[in-house]
């Protein structure tokens, strides 16, 4: 079967800002059914390329082809809501000037994304803004869908819903995202924009790391061959260029070309150098919360955030906090660090605890201050980082800022740059407790990987609020899930272990509900049979006699398994062993429940016969 013709294509595309080109000679095609991701470092030109494909930015050279009649829908990183009005009108409006979407389609999109169409666009939160912009993209059912960081500020249930919607999308999809799990679950094509060149892999993003490593290895081998060739050329020239200068000018020119090629190979976009300052060890107990209650008053009455919440956080714990937007994750963090008082309950901070807090709204950055002033508000040109003086420009370079940006105001920075600046300021402070509220928003994947490595090596205690499933799985040793209406659940492991536990718990609840419905009939049937024989059968009596021992054995097994799972280092030390213990725990719980139900049925029957 012939492949579908491309819905959109670029050929020989070139784009430059100021100095050298971001890319040139770039070609790209997208066809129906392709779900592609565009990956690359921040500043490599991904968002610009997406705008060019959308027709919102012109090329310096090259051609853009759009199949006649094909519609394009584009989600920017920062949607513009300056026009005012309500959500429904914004969603219905075609940004390209075409006809508005029909009302029934708008209502369906708003329903799927839990949005009130009559609500004003003013005062929307980050997550609400993203859902409104997504509704506008999806309502028109475009042939080509272009999404720039669609999961930013979305909670985990909405991300899961979006994955399902996009998997069912039958047009051409191109998405930029730092969410590895989202891309791995969704895509079937990977595009890598690296130093001005676009590489293509016709596989999901889950194959990206191995593929990128292969390309890097091939590049290193080619570079090694080039260096050896340069050495040979230099030796030859040292012997012959003086005596035969005229006839060897061509060879000298070729050497200069090889050196220029080598310089281009060595040109790399800098890697952020993240590290944390330690203030020494805290006490073994970092935070103890007992019976914490917190609620906010609303026009509909009290909204519970925490109900009888208790936890103990020890030195070295890595705790992830998850839950839907608006459920109170940031409130929980602020209570744990002592910034907000609970309505009732006890909170105790351990000895010598020095916390630092990364706030998801970046509110601690003064938009009018320069980057220099943000790091050294009291003046000067050096700051103390991990016990040694660093020049502010040198330290900013560790976080991918150049010297010219040091005197620029914070308000001129992109979202990712603000996140890096806040991390730079955060990591310069001595601490033994890090509280990070959505630190992964707007960071590129390489900075995310580096941040994960730094946090993994951090000697203190970490509390992390995040919707990034891969980041949680790589980093945390336990998860506190805020499930709404004040309910919380603490599970050892990462996000995957929480989901496994959540699914097991739901399955057990369904099984128990079915058992409760069947139990009266089962008891009656057991009693009828017993009465017909006036005593338990030999087989039933033997089973009844053996069940207490079996119940005791299963209870001891549960205690042993729960003790193993209480080890906070088990998942990090032995992920496979952690999975085996978790599976064994679920199986033992199910067997214990069945044994207790069977003992109850047999004992009831025996008692009735004895009357």
Q: How many CB atoms lie within 10 A of CB 124?
A: 18
Residue 185 is assigned to a ligand binding site: no
Q: Phi first, then psi: what are they for 440, rounded to 5°?
A: -85, -10
Residue 42 is assigned to a ligand binding site: yes
Residue 206 is assigned to a ligand binding site: no
| 515 alpha-carbon distance from chain centroid | 39
Residue 240 is assigned to a ligand binding site: no
H helical segments located in 116-155: 126-139
10, 25 Cβ separation under 8 angstroms = no
Token pair of 525 as six digits: 């049937």
Residues 6 or more apart in contact with residue 120 via CB below 8 angstroms: 84, 85, 86, 87
Residue 41 is assigned to a ligand binding site: yes
Residue 329 is assigned to a ligand binding site: yes
- Compute the distance between CA of residue 375 and CA of residue 377 in angstroms, rounded to an integer: 6
Cα distances (Å, whole numbers) of residue 200 to 10, 74, 172, 182, 193? 14, 22, 16, 19, 9
- Compute the distance between CA of residue 316 and CA of residue 353 in angstroms, rounded to an integer: 12
- Compute the distance between CA of residue 422 and CA of residue 437 in angstroms, rounded to an integer: 12
Nearest CA to 115 out of 131, 126, 101 is that of 131
Residue 466 is assigned to a ligand binding site: no
Residue 127 is assigned to a ligand binding site: no
Biggest CA-to-CA distance, the chain = 122
- 270: which DSSP letter? P
Residue 577 is assigned to a ligand binding site: no
Only one residue has tokens 């508000």, namely 377
Question: What is the radius of gyration, based on Cα positions, of the chain?
Answer: 31
Only one residue has tokens 């130093």, namely 195
- Compute the distance between CA of residue 606 and CA of residue 513 in angstroms, rounded to an integer: 25
Residue 327 is assigned to a ligand binding site: yes
Residue 330 is assigned to a ligand binding site: yes
Residue 441 is assigned to a ligand binding site: no
Sheet order of strands, 318-322 included: 355-358, 433-437, 461-465, 318-322, 478-484, 487-492
- 15: which DSSP letter? E
Residue 394 is assigned to a ligand binding site: no
CA dihedral 230, 233, 235, 239 (to 10 degrees): -160
Residue 47 is assigned to a ligand binding site: yes
- Binding-site annotation: residue ranges for ATP: 40-47, 323-330
Q: Which residues are annotated as a binding site?
A: 40-47, 323-330
């Amino acid at each position: 079967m012939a492949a579908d013709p491309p819905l959109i294509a670029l050929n020989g595309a070139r784009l430059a800002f100021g100095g050298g080109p971001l890319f040139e000679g770039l070609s790209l095609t997208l066809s129906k059914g392709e779900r592609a991701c565009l990956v690359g470092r921040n500043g490599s030109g991904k968002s610009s390329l997406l705008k060019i494909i959308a027709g919102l930015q012109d090329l310096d050279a090259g051609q853009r082809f759009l199949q006649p009649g094909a519609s394009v829908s584009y989600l920017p990183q920062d949607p513009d809501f300056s026009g005012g009005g309500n959500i429904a009108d914004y969603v219905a409006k075609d940004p390209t000037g075409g006809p508005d979407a029909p009302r029934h389609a708008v209502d369906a999109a708003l329903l799927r994304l839990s949005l009130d169409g009559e609500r004003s666009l003013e005062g929307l939160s980050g997550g609400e803004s993203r859902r409104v912009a997504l509704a506008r993209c999806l309502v028109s059912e475009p042939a080509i869908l272009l999404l720039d960081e669609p999961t930013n500020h979305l909670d985990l249930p909405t991300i899961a819903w979006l994955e399902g919607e996009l998997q069912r999308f039958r047009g051409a999809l191109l998405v930029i995202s730092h969410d590895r799990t989202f891309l791995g679950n969704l895509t079937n094509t990977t595009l890598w924009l690296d130093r001005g060149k676009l590489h293509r892999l016709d596989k999901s993003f889950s194959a990206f790391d191995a593929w990128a490593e292969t390309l890097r290895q091939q590049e290193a081998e080619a570079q090694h061959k080039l260096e050896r060739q340069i050495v040979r050329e230099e030796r030859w020239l040292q012997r012959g260029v003086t005596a035969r200068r005229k006839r060897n000018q061509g060879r000298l020119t070729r050497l200069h070309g090889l050196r220029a090629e080598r310089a281009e190979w060595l040109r790399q976009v800098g890697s952020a150098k993240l590290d944390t300052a330690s203030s020494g060890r805290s006490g073994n107990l970092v935070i103890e919360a007992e019976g914490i209650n917190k609620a906010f008053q609303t026009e509909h009455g009290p909204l519970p955030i925490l109900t009888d919440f208790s936890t103990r956080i020890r030195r070295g714990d890595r705790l992830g906090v998850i839950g839907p937007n608006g459920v109170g994750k940031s409130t929980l963090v602020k209570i744990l660090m002592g910034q907000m008082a609970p309505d009732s309950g006890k909170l105790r901070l351990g000895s010598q605890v020095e916390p630092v807090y990364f706030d998801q709204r970046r509110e601690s950055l003064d938009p009018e201050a320069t980057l220099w002033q943000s790091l050294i508000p009291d003046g000067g040109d050096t700051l103390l980082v991990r016990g040694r003086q660093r020049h502010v420009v040198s330290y900013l370079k560790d976080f991918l800022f150049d010297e010219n940006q040091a005197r620029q105001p914070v308000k001129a920075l992109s979202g990712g740059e603000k996140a890096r600046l806040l991390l730079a300021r955060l990591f310069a402070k001595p601490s033994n407790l890090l509280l990070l509220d959505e630190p992964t928003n707007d960071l590129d994947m390489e900075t995310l990987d580096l941040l994960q490595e730094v946090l993994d090596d951090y000697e203190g205690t970490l509390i992390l609020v995040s919707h990034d499933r891969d980041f949680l799985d790589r980093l945390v040793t336990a998860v506190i899930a805020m499930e709404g209406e004040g309910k919380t659940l603490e599970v050892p492991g990462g996000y995957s272990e929480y989901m496994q536990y959540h699914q097991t718990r739901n399955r057990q609840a369904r099984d128990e509900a079915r058992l409760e419905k069947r139990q009266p009939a089962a008891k009656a049937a057991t009693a009828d049979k017993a009465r017909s024989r006036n005593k338990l059968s030999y087989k039933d009596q033997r089973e009844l006699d053996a069940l207490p021992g079996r119940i005791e054995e299963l209870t001891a097994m549960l205690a042993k398994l729960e003790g193993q799972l209480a080890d906070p280092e088990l998942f990090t030390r032995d992920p496979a062993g952690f999975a085996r213990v978790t599976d064994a725990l679920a199986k033992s719980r199910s067997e214990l429940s069945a044994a207790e139900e069977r003992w109850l049925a047999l004992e009831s029957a025996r008692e009735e016969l004895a009357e």
